[in-house]
Amino acid sequence: MRKIMRWARAVASKVRADTGMTTSEYAVGTIAACAFAAVLYKVVTSPVVMAQLQSLLKGALDAKS
């Protein structure tokens, strides 16, 4: 039983030692978020989407209850 407890503590300490992201993971995550934001910006500012959004907003503002 004591061997199992020592083994469990050793495994738990190794698992806890590797928590969080490293600097390189933060960098990759930041680059991915910026790329996604750039693509989303291009999609939202495209003429087709802009026309649909304007139509949607105009319809919502002109709606009669």
Q: What whole-number distance in Å separates Cα of residue 57 and Cα of residue 49?
A: 12
Mean pLDDT value across residues 36-55: 94
**pTM (predicted TM-score):** 0.51
For residue 23, give both structure tokens: 């600097």
- Residue 33 clears pLDDT 90, i.e. is over it: yes
Mean pLDDT value across residues 19-27: 77
Helix 23-44 to helix 47-62 angle, to the nearest 10 degrees? 70
**pLDDT at residue 64, as a whole number:** 74
